[in-house]
């Protein structure tokens, strides 16, 4: 009896402390499937962050360093075409998600990802990379709306922004560790092997979805998938306003993971420097996500959008004068503060505006707008980079677009304040 009391005292205290830590992190009292989805997010991030940050560098780099020496403008074309291909898929993915369920759409994504990711290791021609990228972006359009809608299905409205923030934070743990490891592997064994390792992570994700993820939503009445289904979403003026200004944000923000890697090599820094900056970006998200998310929740999502957009505008403009590692680090730190502020706030904002039976369509349509912005941004950024005699001026253009977007968010804040929209009831 005495031994039992001692055991209960020691391990009961440990359990209490662990519960306290989980509560502070926002992990307490969540459905089991949410924990599974958070693990899935981590593994998926580890796989992607190991290889894909180096894709643009692989395609445009010198052959002496293992690159394929392709024209940077071709990379811009690939990113733009892939972006627009995913946009067409998003026209139906949200409706399919609401009709057939979230789990099927997630499986439709993760299983082909294994083969497609491994395919990058064997591709040598631009057309091969183009096809792989287009197909990957198309099937990717089915995953994000399903994943986001499943979280909204399983979590009460007052905790959705918190859980979206947790998912984003945990995803960035992969961003912290994988890029530096990928840089070391690429330096020792070349870029192609990175995609084989990434494919292994995709295979593990597929097993998890197949075995542990259960359907979270079933529509009681059948429906057909038509463009007319999006009509109700387009009548939500507040949501469309948010998507429109968000597209401009995406146009600028998309340069962080594509153009910046090429520009860093242009100014004479080693390729692994981008991996370090990418890792610092992820580390900041992990460390600062909770306090910044709480601050954003206090001021409200629409005010958080204004603050984030200001960070983006300043951060990208700062690259205009960046020449060494520490100057680029300052710019990445500023941009990351904006990223941490806007990501969970935007996911929660969309989930709380959307009716439960249209949640997938809201998620998909927001992805459509952001995808348009990202696709145009990728093409525009690489095109400007190719034609400007002074390459640094590309950041002046992007910074100007960032500042020009601020009035749109100010108008959104005022419009939202007038409507006093409350979270959609489940």
DSSP letter, residue 423: P
Region 213-223: mean pLDDT is 65
Domains assigned to the chain: 30-214+229-419 (1.20.1250.20)
Residues in the chain: 426
Instruction: Judge whether residue 320 has pLDDT over 80.
Output: yes
User: What tokens does 229 get?
Assistant: 């289904």
Residues 11, 2: Cα–Cα separation, whole Å: 14
Region 49-55: mean pLDDT is 87
Higher pLDDT pick, 207 / 73: 207
Residue 68, phi then psi, degrees to nearest 5: -105, 0
* Single pTM value for the model: 0.68
CB of 302 closer than 8 Å to CB of 416 = yes
Higher pLDDT pick, 22 / 398: 398
Instruction: Judge whether residue 310 has pLDDT over 90.
Output: yes
Instruction: Judge whether residue 2 has pLDDT over 70.
Output: no
- 102 alpha carbon, distance to own chain's centre: 18
**Nearest one of 338, 302, 303 to 317, comparing CA atoms:** 338
pLDDT tens, position by position, 125-178: 999 999 999 999 888 878 887 888 888 888 887 787 788 878 878 888 888 888
Residue 229: Cβ within 10 Å count: 18
pLDDT tens, position by position, 256-307: 877 888 888 788 887 678 778 878 888 888 888 788 878 877 888 889 999 9
Q: Is the dihedral of CA 275, 276, 279, 285 positive or negative?
A: negative
Look-up of token digits 């057309």: 127
Q: What is the pLDDT of residue 230?
A: 57
pLDDT tens, position by position, 360-405: 678 777 877 887 888 788 778 888 888 888 888 999 999 999 999 9
């Amino acid at each position: 009896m005495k031994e039992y009391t001692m055991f209960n005292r020691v391990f009961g205290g440990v359990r209490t402390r662990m519960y306290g830590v989980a509560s502070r992190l926002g992990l307490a009292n969540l459905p089991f499937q949410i924990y599974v989805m958070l693990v899935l997010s981590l593994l998926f991030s580890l796989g992607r962050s190991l290889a894909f940050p180096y894709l643009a560098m692989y395609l445009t780099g010198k052959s002496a360093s293992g690159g394929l020496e392709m024209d940077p403008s071709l990379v811009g074309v690939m990113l733009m075409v892939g972006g627009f291909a995913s946009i067409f898929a998003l026209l139906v993915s949200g409706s399919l998600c609401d009709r057939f369920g979230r789990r099927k759409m997630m499986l439709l994504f993760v299983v082909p990802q294994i083969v497609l990711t491994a395919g990058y290791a064997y591709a040598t021609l631009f057309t091969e990379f183009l096809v792989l990228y287009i197909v990957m972006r198309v099937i990717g359009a089915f995953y994000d709306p399903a994943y986001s809608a499943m979280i909204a299905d399983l979590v009460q409205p007052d905790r959705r922004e918190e859980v979206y923030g947790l998912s984003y934070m945990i995803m960035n743990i992969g961003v912290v560790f994988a890029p530096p490891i990928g840089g070391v592997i690429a330096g020792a064994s070349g870029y192609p092997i990175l995609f084989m390792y990434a494919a292994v992570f995709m295979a593990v994700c597929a097993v998890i979805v197949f075995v542990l993820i259960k359907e979270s939503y079933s529509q009681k009445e059948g429906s057909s998938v038509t463009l007319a289904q999006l009509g109700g979403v387009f009548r939500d003026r507040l949501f469309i306003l948010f998507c429109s200004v968000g597209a401009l944000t995406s146009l600028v923000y998309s340069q962080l993971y594509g153009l910046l890697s090429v520009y860093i090599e242009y100014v004479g820094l080693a390729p692994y420097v981008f991996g370090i900056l990418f890792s610092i970006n992820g580390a900041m998200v992990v460390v600062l996500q909770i306090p910044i998310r709480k601050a954003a929740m206090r001021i409200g999502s629409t005010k958080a959008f204004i603050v984030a957009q200001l960070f983006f505008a300043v951060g990208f403009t700062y690259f205009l004068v960046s020449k060494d590692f520490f100057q680029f680090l300052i710019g990445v730190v500023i941009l990351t503060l904006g990223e941490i502020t806007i990501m969970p706030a935007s996911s929660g904002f969309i989930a709380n505006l959307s009716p439960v039976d249209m949640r997938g369509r809201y998620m998909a349509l927001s992805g459509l707008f952001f995808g348009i912005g990202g696709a145009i941004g990728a093409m525009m950024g690489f095109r400007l980079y190719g034609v400007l005699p002074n390459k640094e001026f590309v950041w002046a253009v992007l910074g100007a677009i960032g500042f020009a977007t601020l009035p749109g968010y100010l108008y959104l804040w005022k419009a939202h304040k007038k409507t006093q929209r409350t979270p959609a009831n489940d």
